[in-house]
């Protein structure tokens, strides 16, 4: 050991001596004795080759060794000395990683080497060994020097390397380092174009070739270099003629590389094809050369070998990119339905829609357009090169990294509350009628006998005449189109339906029950019978000139229309016999009264009759009629199957390769509603003509595969996300695949374990009426259907996305419903409100007013909930009137149905009889608008109202004609501010499609400024941190709530939302948006579980409990000492799990399972943001950590 130490110390001292001698020679003229320099550099080289510590010493901090070596290289003219130094540099930079190269670059080494390249090229002939060593060092240095390409171009070394390459095509020893340097040169776009003009692209095709066991390293580098060159559009155009050659070479390597030792070479060939196909000419050449079939076949053969996944991924990407862009199978991207507006906005997308003439059909009002207008695919979209799309996406993606700062409000004045009210108090006085509790004296109420006075005015006084904004109803059809098919069977009046809920399933009807041995078909027919006629059916109104009268609803899923598949004749015969022998049919409704105290099928039907819809729905969906009982079992977030997205994409590609296998059969189409599709029983049957339904078209692609197209929001040409439709006529055990092909968002929780919802009528009849998470092989990806720039906000070259899932049905001829999330209709809300009023106790003050009428003629309910005063004493009345207000709203976006389930939990808790609920009612007066967008909910919209606009972007200046619910809700808040009674808390319930958990968005001046570069004084940033109190309480109490996901930053894009406007204009510090996930949770007790109605309702109840905790924290000291309030507060944290009416669900704290595969959302690498500025949400693009780790550029 000591001997080794002595040798090392001796070596170090010798190295120092040699560097000293070399430095002395640099100061003197080296021409005097070049032999000395040769000897010194040779000795240094020997020490470096034999002693690792010597190499470290040269590049260590404080050492001047590198400067001495570079100075010698720059000054010497001796060939051998130059070679010795180049050998030294190669030894030094080969090991040690980027740090040593960084030292070399920082000392100016790159410039010295490039200058030496120029000097050496002037020799005649140039020294091959010097060029070899120079390019070897440059190949190591280039990737670490960001300005390497610019330095080489300005220096002139670019052309030297190219000429050297041309002159030494057979000299593989020199060719390899030159290609490595050329690859680094090509990373600079200007260099790549210059090299292309110099013939380097053609030169590369002279080097690469078919399968060979020789010079594989050289071939790999050549392909990488060519791939770098082809990133330039100009170079890609030069290489278009070589596409067949590349495909032939790839096939040859695929056939001969049977042991898969040269995957990198095969991947390099695909990389070249990928870059060429970024341009339109390249894609055409690829198709003409039968590239789709070649890559499909080779990829299919690679599927069994996991190590070949990189080849499959790249091949898939190329094929998707080259797949010819198709138009959606629609006559227009506008909604099938239209609602005539009283006043059309002066500008914007709605105004554009009204620029085209309007036609009318026999049942609905349809858009019609001149024959020369095609809004599905406009010509400009087809002329866009993929490279332009990539560049645009990359720019937007780059922008997204700074989106947080770009969208944050930087105007301090806009971050401060307004000091003056925008409306005079005289205008707001009409809203006093909605605040009777603030002036109520309760003199007519009998406090001694509250039961006797339960129906008196204080209990539940009905509203005065609502504030109504006049609206135009749908106009009658003038020119009904003739239909070659028979007219549809008229709807039947629900007043004639008899419903039984007896346990034996029998009613007063003439036909007998099936005996226990009867077949499944007969049992299902028995269960689905639902129509009873007291007499002849209603007469069909005739005459096209008469005003169309809305038909009363019937239950969707008619039996006669659902009988198909095996046993069809027998079922149809049985049905006919029963029709003849019975005067009334009976629907056996599962008795769920004990499980669903707020659901009543009879009452629901009555509510449907008073609901107005643009399509004038005449049917009721079974799930809404039967009701939903939350399942007792846990529904875990779905674990993604490896390769599922890749498999689905390959199946899509097969459509182009094997077109004869494609049926392309339309089985459902709302655009030709007056002419129903006739089918022979080999296809599924679809329906969406019921409240909140959304499915526009269904196309049978293969025997068990269907493409589904969603309808746009009314008076809009986009917003496709919410779906709710019925399926029947299925076969048991058949592997059905459903593809929703016109999704718009570039990201979805369907890629992260979320499943669709399904409701089986047969299961409901069997005593299990519930929505369940279902579907396998679920994924979400960009497809080949081109999205018109008209619908993409002017952006060209965009594509739609496909959400696909597979399904196997368990019951023959069942009637099943599928939905994006748990449906909650407007009629359901009205039913629940009536049931809640029936449950009111004498101690509860409940009043339901009609705030206004919507554009579609539906009422917008406003609830007031608080506790009755204990007596009519002045103190009690004063305390009653001066309770702080809490203002809650929900469902401004129709597709966010989870918001309604949270609101349901809130309402049930508030109306409950528990001590917590009673204390909460005594603490606050609640003003609640449970559904801000009834029209959107009724008509199956995803985001808009009938005005075609996002109502949550209209709060700054709402129109009473176009946005009545927002206008009058804001007016209520303005009235409260005017009388100095602004709410303590305002919260708008929403749903979030791209994040997990439940969380809040709030408003904070400080936190907004901290995220920007605004310079502000401390006095300008003075702010009470009370806005964080409620979210913090929720994070401690509600298992689904995540404080880490909350944000209190004010963004420019959200300045017209309820949260920001109420904060800024009304002055409510605690103004929130509460977002509930559509998927599930990745933290807390529910980690790894998909969220259900039980958890959503629990969240609504927990919000109430949190408000009670907030009351204690914000009350004066004398109120804090109230005995019952203190008792309640001490129990809050302990009773937080008892709020739910069902047992808690427990889960081990495991991390979210990562995907076995990498996920790509688009045909190109990288995700793209939403295009619509109205829907863009900077929070939407942020995935959880576990999800972002699984988001890769490649696809499996």
Tell me which residues are annotated as active site. 1075
Backbone angles phi, psi at 399, to 5 degrees: -65, -35
Instruction: Report the run of H or E that residue 727 belongs to, with start and end.
Output: strand 724-728
Reported as type and span, the H/E element at residue 554 is strand 554-555
175: Cβ contacts below 8 Å, ≥ 6 apart: 165, 168, 169, 207, 218
Distance CA(77)–CA(79), nearest Å, equals 6
Residue 122 has phi, psi (to 5 degrees) of -85, -15
User: Tokens 């009204």 map to which residue?
Assistant: 354
Cβ neighbours of 357 (radius 10 Å):
10
The size of the chain, in residues, is 1196
Q: Which of 422, 431, 418 is nearest to 1067 (CA)?
A: 418
| Cα–Cα distance for residue pair 322/278, rounded to 1 Å | 9
Please classify residue 368 by burial: count the beta carbons closer than 10 Å to its beta carbon, then call 0-12 exposed, 13-18 middle and 19+ buried.
Answer: middle
- Measured distance CA(438)–CA(1066) in Å, rounded: 19
Distance CA 1140, CA 1147 (A): 17
- Nearest by Cα to 626 from 831, 393, 797, 445: 831
Q: Return d(Cα 182, Cα 194) in angstroms, integer.
A: 12
Phi/psi of residue 250, each to 5°? -65, -45
Angle subtended at Cα 48 by Cα 46 and Cα 53, rounded to the nearest 5 degrees: 140
Buried b (16+ CB within 10 A) or exposed e, 390-419: bebbeebbeebeebbeebbbbeeeebeeee
**Cα 706 from Cα 806, distance rounded (Å):** 10
Q: How far apart are CA 13 and CA 576, in angstroms?
A: 109
Residue in 87, 73, 185, 169 with CA at minimum distance from that of residue 119: 73
| Torsion sign over Cα 793, 798, 799, 803 | negative
Q: How far apart are the first and last CA of the chain?
A: 54
Indicate left, alpha or beta for 97 from its phi (over 0: left) and psi (-120 to 50: alpha): left
DSSP state letter for 671? G
Strand partners, 693: none
Nearest 5 degrees, angle CA 555-CA 560-CA 566? 130
- For the chain, the 3-state helix, strand and coil shares in percent, each to the nearest 5, are 45, 15, 45
Query: Cβ distance 717 to 349 under 8 Å?
Result: yes
Select from 883, 850, 880, 846 the least CA-distant residue to 865.
846
Whole-angstrom distance, CA of residue 694 vs CA of residue 817: 11
CA-based nearest residue to 149, from 193, 199, 116, 107: 193
User: Nearest to residue 961, comparing CAs of 525, 464, 341, 547?
Assistant: 341
Peptide bond into 125 cis (omega under 30): yes
Collapsing DSSP states into helix, strand and coil, what is residue 1111? helix
């Amino acid at each position: 050991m000591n001997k080794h130490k002595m040798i090392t110390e001796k070596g170090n001292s010798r190295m120092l001596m040699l560097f000293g001698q070399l430095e002395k020679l640099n100061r003197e003229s080296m021409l005097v004795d070049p032999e000395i320099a040769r000897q010194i550099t040779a000795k240094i080289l020997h020490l470096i080759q034999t002693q690792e510590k010597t190499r470290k010493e040269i590049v260590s901090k404080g050492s001047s060794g590198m400067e001495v070596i570079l100075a010698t290289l720059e000054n010497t003219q001796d060939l051998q000395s130059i070679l010795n130094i180049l050998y030294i540099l190669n030894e030094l930079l080969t090991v040690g990683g980027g740090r040593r190269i960084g030292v070399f670059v920082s000392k100016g080494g790159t410039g010295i080497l490039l200058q030496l390249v120029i000097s050496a090229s002037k020799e005649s002939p140039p020294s091959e060994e010097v060029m070899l060593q120079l390019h070897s060092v440059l190949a190591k240095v280039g990737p670490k020097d960001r300005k390497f390409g610019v330095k080489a171009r300005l220096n002139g070394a670019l052309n030297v390397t190219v000429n050297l390459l041309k002159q030494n095509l057979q000299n593989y020893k020199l060719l390899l380092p030159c290609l490595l340097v050329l690859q680094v040169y090509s990373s600079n776009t200007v260099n790549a174009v210059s090299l292309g003009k110099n013939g380097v692209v053609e030169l590369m095709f002279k080097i690469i070739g078919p399968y060979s066991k020789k010079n594989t390293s050289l071939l790999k580098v050549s392909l990488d270099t060519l791939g770098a060159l082809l990133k330039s559009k100009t170079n890609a155009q030069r290489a278009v003629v070589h596409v067949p050659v590349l495909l032939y070479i790839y096939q040859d390597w695929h056939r001969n590389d049977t042991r898969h030792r040269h995957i990198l070479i095969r991947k390099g060939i695909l990389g070249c094809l990928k870059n060429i196909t970024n341009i339109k000419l390249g894609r055409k050449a690829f198709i003409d050369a039968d590239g789709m079939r070649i890559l499909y076949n080779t990829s299919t053969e690679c599927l069994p070998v996991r190590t070949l996944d990189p080849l499959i991924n790249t091949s898939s990407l190329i094929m998707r990119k080259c797949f010819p862009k198709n138009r959606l199978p629609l006559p227009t991207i506008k909604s099938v339905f239209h609602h005539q507006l009283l006043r059309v906005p002066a500008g914007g997308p709605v105004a554009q829609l009204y620029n085209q003439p309007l036609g009318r059909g026999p049942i609905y009002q349809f858009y019609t357009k001149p024959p020369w207008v095609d809004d599905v695919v406009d010509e400009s979209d087809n002329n866009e090169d993929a490279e332009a799309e990539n560049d645009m996406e990359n720019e937007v993606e780059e922008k997204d990294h700074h989106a947080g700062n770009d969208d944050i409000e930087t105007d301090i004045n806009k971050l401060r509350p307004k000091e003056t009210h925008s409306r005079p108090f005289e205008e707001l006085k009409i809203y006093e009628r909605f605040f009777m509790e603030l002036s109520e004296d309760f003199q007519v109420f009998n406090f001694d006998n509250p039961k006797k006075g339960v129906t008196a005015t204080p209990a539940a006084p009905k509203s005065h005449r609502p504030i109504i904004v006049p609206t135009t109803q749908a106009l009658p059809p003038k020119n009904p189109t003739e239909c070659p098919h028979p007219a549809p069977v008229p709807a039947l009046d629900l007043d004639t339906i008899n419903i039984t809920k007896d346990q034996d399933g029998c009613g007063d009807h003439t036909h007998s029950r099936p005996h226990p041995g009867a077949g499944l078909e007969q049992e299902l027919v028995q269960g689905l019978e639902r129509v009873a006629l007291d007499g002849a059916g209603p007469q069909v109104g005739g005459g096209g000139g008469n005003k169309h009268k809305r038909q009363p609803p019937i239950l969707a899923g008619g039996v006669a229309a659902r009988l198909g598949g095996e046993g069809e004749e027998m079922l149809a015969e049985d049905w006919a016999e029963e029709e003849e022998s019975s005067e009334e049919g009976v629907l056996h409704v599962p008795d769920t009264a004990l499980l669903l105290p707020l659901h009543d099928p009879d009452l629901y039907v009555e509510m449907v009759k008073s609901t107005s819809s643009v399509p004038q729905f005449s049917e009721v969906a079974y799930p809404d009629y039967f009701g939903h009982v939350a399942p007792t079992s846990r529904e875990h977030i779905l674990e993604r199957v490896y390769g599922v997205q890749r498999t689905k994409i390959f199946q899509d590609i097969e459509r182009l390769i094997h077109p004869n296998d494609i049926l392309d059969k339309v089985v459902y189409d709302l655009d030709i509603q007056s002419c129903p599709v006739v089918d022979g029983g080999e296809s599924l049957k679809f329906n969406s003509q019921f409240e909140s339904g959304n499915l526009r078209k269904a196309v049978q692609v293969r025997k068990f595969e269907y493409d589904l197209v969603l309808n746009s929001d009314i008076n809009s040409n986009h917003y496709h996300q919410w779906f709710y439709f019925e399926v029947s006529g299925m076969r048991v055990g058949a592997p059905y695949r459903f593809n929703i092909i016109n999704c718009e968002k570039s990201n979805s929780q369907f890629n992260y374990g979320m499943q669709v919802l399904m409701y089986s009528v047969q299961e409901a009849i069997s005593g299990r009426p519930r929505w369940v998470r279902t579907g396998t092989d679920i994924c979400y990806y960009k497809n080949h259907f081109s999205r018109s720039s008209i619908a993409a906000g002017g952006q060209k070259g965009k594509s739609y996305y496909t959400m696909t899932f597979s399904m196997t049905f368990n019951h023959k001829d069942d009637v099943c419903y599928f939905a994006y999330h748990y449906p909650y209709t407007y009629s359901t809300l009205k039913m629940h409100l009536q049931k809640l009023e029936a449950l009111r106790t004498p101690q509860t003050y409940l009043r339901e007013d009609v705030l206004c009428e919507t554009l579609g003629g539906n009422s917008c309910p406003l609830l007031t909930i608080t506790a009755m005063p204990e007596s009519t004493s002045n103190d009690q009345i004063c305390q009653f009137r001066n309770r702080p207000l809490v203002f809650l709203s929900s469902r401004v976006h129709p597709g966010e149905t989870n918001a309604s389930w949270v609101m349901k939990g809130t309402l049930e808790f508030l109306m409950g009889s528990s001590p917590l609920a009673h204390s909460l009612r005594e603490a606050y007066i609640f003003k609640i608008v449970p559904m801000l967008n009834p029209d959107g909910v009724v008509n199956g919209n995803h985001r808009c109202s009938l005005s075609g606009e996002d109502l949550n972007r209209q709060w700054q200046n709402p129109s009473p004609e176009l946005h009545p619910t927002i206008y009058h809700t804001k007016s209520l808040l303005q009235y409260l501010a005017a009388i100095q009674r602004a709410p303590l808390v305002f919260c708008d319930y929403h749903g979030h499609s791209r994040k997990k958990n439940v969380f809040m968005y709030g408003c904070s001046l400080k936190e907004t400024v901290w995220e920007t570069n605004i310079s502000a004084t401390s006095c300008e940033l003075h702010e009470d941190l009370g806005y964080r109190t409620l979210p913090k309480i929720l994070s401690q109490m509600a298992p689904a709530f995540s404080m880490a996901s909350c944000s209190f930053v004010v963004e420019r894009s959200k300045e017209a939302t309820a949260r920001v406007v109420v904060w800024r204009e009304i002055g409510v510090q605690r103004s929130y948006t509460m977002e509930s996930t559509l998927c599930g949770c990745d933290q807390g007790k529910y980690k790894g579980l998909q969220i259900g109605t039980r958890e959503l309702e629990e969240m609504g109840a927990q919000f109430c409990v949190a408000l009670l905790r907030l009351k204690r924290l914000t009350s004066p000291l004398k109120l804090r000492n109230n005995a019952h309030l203190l008792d309640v507060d001490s129990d809050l944290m302990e009773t937080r799990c008892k709020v739910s009416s069902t047992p808690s669900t427990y889960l081990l704290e495991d991390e979210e399972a990562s995907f076995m595969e990498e996920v790509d959302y688009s045909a190109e690498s990288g995700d793209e943001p939403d295009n619509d500025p109205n829907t863009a949400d900077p929070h939407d693009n942020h995935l959880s950590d576990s999800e972002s780790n699984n988001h890769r550029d490649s696809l499996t």
